[in-house]
Structure 1
Amino acid sequence: MNNFNLIDQPWIPIRWLNSATDNPTLVSLHDAFTRAHEIADLDCLPHERIALTRLLVCIAHAALGIPEDAEDWLDIDFGHDLQSTAPSYLQREDIHPHFNLLGDGPRFLQSRAKFSSTDVGYPLSKISFHLSSGNNPKLLDHWGEDPRPWTEPSAALTLLCLQNFFVGGSMASKVKGNGPALKSLQMILLGENLAQTILKNCLDSETLRSSGNGLGSPSWEGQADTQLLSRLSPTPCDLWLTDDLSRILIEQGTQQPECPAYRDPYATIEPIKDKDDRLLRAKPGQGIWRDLHLLTNLNKAQGQNAALNLQAFNERKEIGENTPLWVGELIKAKDAKIEDATESTFTVPHKLFSDEGRHLYASGIEHCDAISKKLYGAIKFYGTTLSQEKPPIAEGQKHYWHTLDQEHRKLIAMSATPENYLTQIGSEHADDPWTLSVRQAARQAYDAVCPRTTPRQIQAYTAGIKPLLRALFPKEKPPKGAKPQSTQANLNL
């Protein structure tokens, strides 16, 4: 039986910097480090990117150690020998066997201690979040009850993702706790190549201690703990793959504490007024860009809520004119099922990490949220006037936000030069790109779902749009004692 060692065998999907056709689409852990400067990026699904990045950072820290602080990072040139030190670490006699996917000896993120020969387990497809299995249908997957053919690379990646995102439920109701990467938006700093991406997401001791945690040891070096490296190589489940890759056995593993007991290094804290802070999460059906000002909060006076990797990156003075960020999450529903996966990539200007840039960005989000509520009321009033049982509110909201999803880069660009926009977004005299985009999106959404071809429809359209226009084109209150001037909105009927 082939043990399929993950250090030597290709299983990590990547994209190369050059376009040469002889470069493989899968690489081993050894090649992922030795050729890291030639690899552009990982090439995988959102949850796979999170799990793989956490593993690569874990190996980097295990091989290189951890700098004491930002100055120490620069003094020792942390990571200059990543391409040689990490592969040497992986080839150590006490490390290499622990990356076998199969075999009778130690296995990668697996343990057989709690299983007997009579245990049946579950089909391997049942732990793959994007595949259908049993009563878990998928839109793009229609495989029946017949066993699926599995390859070692896909089985290894599926196993790694399960340990990072274990969600429990009927499959393993006896296992308590979730995977450490679950229930939070995960931020990954992107570099020009895979080597830079790995190093940008490494931490220093000072930043790590600020969250009340230590480095610890990877799970393959001994007994798993609840510190950083064990969370990056998690074993919330004791797993064992059958030799034919058809089934997997599951038992209780090392339960990892969750927020607020432990703060995940790639998660952002979302401050809630008069409540305990919580991890920022993706909202189904809502673009991640609407929370970008929370993701970039590096203000110590406000609790420095940004992810720890971004804090450490900032302390090293490496934030440049533009910083590429990847943000994504595997979204868990309330019934212990995976609901969706979401991801976004941003090129964040330097000023968006400052109070001025974030304030402008936040005011832009507040404005489009306020207009969304006015659009809701306008469409509802239109429907009520026509005695509609169900006004097309949902359709209008979808149209509005879909338009702004395509325009949100204008708001990011504005935050790069907040000093150029002295007039408040959405105010009477505002003519900035974001105010104009919000006005256009609201009018187009209202027009799309509120037809005006009959006299009754025209009457309802006019009645509904008046409050919307007053919100889109507000008038400043005149000084006390001044006589109001009569104005009439242009309805563009």
Structure 2
Amino acid sequence: MNVAFDPWIPVVDLQGKPERISIVSLFTKGEKFADLAVRPHERVSLMRLFLCIAHAALDGPKDYEEWLQVPTKLPNAAERYLTQWKDSFELFHKTKPWLQVADLQETTKKEDKASPKDKTSPVVLLDFEIASGKNSTLFEHLAESESREVKLERLALNLLTYQNFSSGGGLPIAQWDSVVTKQVGNLDAPCLSQSMTHSLFRGNDLLCTIYLNLPSYESIQETYISFNKAKKKDQNVYNSISLGKPIWENFPTSPKPDSEEAVNATKTYLGRLVPISRWVKLLPNFRMYCCAGFKYDKYEDGFPAEPTASVKIITRQEEQKREVVKAAPSKALWRELSSLLVHRTSEGIGGPIAMSNAPRDEAFDFMVCAITRDQASMDIAMESVFHIKPALVSHNSIHKTEIGGGKNTIGAEGYAIKLRTAIEVYRKEVDWDWERRVEKAGKEKNVLKDKLAEKALLYYWTNVEKSLSLLMMHIEAIGTDQAEPTRNVWRKAIFQIACDAYRSACAKETPRQVKAFVKGWRKLVTNDQQAVSRDDELSYEEEVIA
């Protein structure tokens, strides 16, 4: 199978009909297909592959002027490029199989001779959706069956996704030259690390989608920089990262991590777009050798964030720290939207590199994809599509303040914190043993507090999300006479939602519960000057006492 010229990519056409197409068809006939028909992690992996091919085919775009010409130049350039490198896209090539190590074999170490002879693994283990190990899928019990067959088009997609998103921890072992890999202590693939979010634009068709997500070399060189932990005179030291070459143009010939090919694969922009974080060799009988591959440094190691990732500054204990924007099962992706829609600065803070391609005077679709990780395993795949209006991009700082809070604004996140605190105050009043349980929980005390407020917070965030149209009304009214009235409507709405959430979680049927309810209520509603007046607070309190 040749992944460049044989159909294997799941898509839907403009009428919504599903089919599979080749990479060449995607670039030459992309305007006929509406979107990819894949899971979130597969979408990110495929888009990184497409962007790598587009960059290599165009040798650019070098600047904004060349980027404007991409839609007309890319189809023919991509076809010529893929024809030139056709052999490197053969899935079972004898000497250079696509994204695989041809010389990978079972270990020859003497101490391993006592273990079972078959060192291979079933290829279905490349599919994250199949039940195996800690992964469980309803009605799916055959993942590790030796007779399980996988269609080649599915195998190609699984291999690509596995190289981008496989989790660390325990892996099979294999040998490349004299290097025998480790079974435990392996690292995450670059796109899964820290449960990072990946942001992508979605165009009217697939060719437009590639165009919108393709940054110019100029913007890459300005923003794709490294943050070193080493400091000189209390100033952060930044190092530029070279563009490099796609992995198939300069595939490593040895397992040495300091070889020129390995450095290109792990420490350059184009080299990392299609990683080989796992050394894999597919065999004809639906088996494979599979083990840990080259190390891909993460943002916390001092390497720049991935091109589709986002970086924000957080404050913990009065200390500012840079972190990639992470996904979490308990936090909807829209709550991070203000951090994702920021143009990445020269210090590497902000959204994806392609954010500079965002349409300025018209609305656009913005996709956020992620997989959360839990104890060296993939947990939950998440994907959201946001229809972004120009007003939201122009007034993103207002959106950030109203959601996350600010100097004189509590914000939706602030009310969530107040709600959590109020519920704990209530619990302390009705449960004399609560403080001892919190103290006994030690490092897990915040987990215990979150569980206490889980019901109320679920109610709160669900209803805040339903009220986001009020926030958009305010943002679109900025600069008019309606700005302040619409802001007050939004703030009062989230205040009332917080009050209703508190009522839903805290009973007041006995005298002791009523006393606890009022004590927690005062914690929730007092010292709030952004949404309600003191008269409003008193009327709410009178209602509670009554």
Q: What is the TM-score with the length of structure 1 in the denominator?
A: 0.84
Q: Which residue of 1 aligns with 2:341?
A: 296
Q: 1:488–1:302: structure 2 CA closer, same or farther, 3 Å change rule?
A: farther
Partners of 1:231 and 1:341 in 2: CA distance: 22
Q: Which residue of 2 aligns with 1:377?
A: 421
Partners of 1:485 and 1:37 in 2: CA distance: 56
Q: CA deviation at 1:24?
A: 4.8
| 2:527 counterpart of 1:466 | no
Q: Is the 8 A contact 1:166 1:182 kept in 2?
A: yes
Partners of 1:410 and 1:12 in 2: CA distance: 40
Q: Which residue of 1 aligns with 2:7?
A: 10
Residue identity opposite 2:459 in structure 1: H
Q: Which residue of 2 aligns with 1:129?
A: 128
Pick from 318, 331, 336 the counterpart of residue 372 of structure 2. Answer: 331
Residue identity opposite 1:143 in structure 2: H
Partners of 1:476 and 1:272 in 2: CA distance: 28
| 2:268 counterpart of 1:227 | yes
Partners of 2:138 and 2:470 in 1: CA distance: 34
Partners of 2:106 and 2:136 in 1: CA distance: 33
| 2:71 counterpart of 1:32 | no
Pick from 412, 415, 438 the counterpart of residue 475 of structure 2. Answer: 415
Q: Which residue of 2 aligns with 1:102?
A: 92
Gaps of 5+ in 1: 479-483
Q: Is the 8 A contact 2:164 2:189 kept in 1?
A: yes
189-198 or 280-289, larger mean C-alpha shift: 280-289
Q: CA deviation at 1:160?
A: 0.4
* Bigger share in helix: 2
Q: CA deviation at 1:52?
A: 0.6
Q: 1:450–1:18: structure 2 CA closer, same or farther, 3 Å change rule?
A: same
| 2:75 counterpart of 1:65 | no
Partners of 1:163 and 1:153 in 2: CA distance: 16
Give the 3-state SS of the residue equivalent to 1:419 in structure 2.
coil
Q: 1:462–1:177: structure 2 CA closer, same or farther, 3 Å change rule?
A: closer
Q: CA deviation at 1:487?
A: 5.1
Q: Which residue of 2 aligns with 1:481?
A: none
Q: Which residue of 2 aligns with 1:365?
A: 404
Q: Which residue of 2 aligns with 1:216?
A: 244
Q: Is the 8 A contact 1:238 1:253 kept in 2?
A: yes
Q: Superposition pairs for residues 344-363 of structure 1, below 5 Å?
A: 344-354=384-394, 356-363=395-402
| 2:81 counterpart of 1:89 | yes
CA RMSD, 1 decimal: 3.2
Partners of 2:204 and 2:464 in 1: CA distance: 29
Q: Is the 8 A contact 2:343 2:353 kept in 1?
A: no
Residue identity opposite 1:296 in structure 2: L
Give the 3-state SS of the residue equivalent to 1:49 in structure 2.
helix
Residue identity opposite 1:397 in structure 2: L
Partners of 2:55 and 2:536 in 1: CA distance: 68
Q: Which residue of 2 aligns with 1:205?
A: 217
Q: CA deviation at 1:119?
A: 5.8
Q: Which residue of 2 aligns with 1:431?
A: 488
Partners of 1:472 and 1:88 in 2: CA distance: 64
Q: Which residue of 1 aligns with 2:178?
A: none
Partners of 2:538 and 2:23 in 1: CA distance: 69
Partners of 1:180 and 1:455 in 2: CA distance: 56
Partners of 1:109 and 1:491 in 2: CA distance: 66
Q: Which residue of 2 aligns with 1:270?
A: 312
357-366 or 337-346, larger mean C-alpha shift: 357-366
Give the 3-state SS of the residue equivalent to 1:324 in structure 2.
strand
Q: Is the 8 A contact 2:506 2:517 kept in 1?
A: yes
Q: CA deviation at 1:228?
A: 2.0
Q: 1:272–1:14: structure 2 CA closer, same or farther, 3 Å change rule?
A: same
Partners of 1:269 and 1:78 in 2: CA distance: 28
Q: CA deviation at 1:414?
A: 3.5
Q: CA deviation at 1:305?
A: 2.1
Residue identity opposite 1:55 in structure 2: L
Residue identity opposite 1:288 in structure 2: L
| 2:543 counterpart of 1:491 | yes
Which string of whole-angstrom CA distances, capped at 9 and with x for unpartnered residues, describes residues 57-85 of structure 1? 111112122022113333xx123133333
Q: 1:304–1:237: structure 2 CA closer, same or farther, 3 Å change rule?
A: closer
Q: Which residue of 1 aligns with 2:448?
A: none
| 2:72 counterpart of 1:80 | yes
* Bigger share in strand: 2
Q: Is the 8 A contact 1:165 1:178 kept in 2?
A: yes
Q: 1:392–1:236: structure 2 CA closer, same or farther, 3 Å change rule?
A: closer
Residue identity opposite 2:304 in structure 1: Y
Gaps of 5+ in 2: 108-116, 174-180, 225-239, 252-260, 406-410, 435-450
Give the 3-state SS of the residue equivalent to 2:200 in structure 1.
strand
Q: 1:222–1:439: structure 2 CA closer, same or farther, 3 Å change rule?
A: same
Q: 1:477–1:331: structure 2 CA closer, same or farther, 3 Å change rule?
A: closer
Q: Which residue of 1 aligns with 2:149?
A: 149
Q: 1:116–1:124: structure 2 CA closer, same or farther, 3 Å change rule?
A: same
Partners of 1:139 and 1:257 in 2: CA distance: 31
Q: Which residue of 2 aligns with 1:248?
A: 288
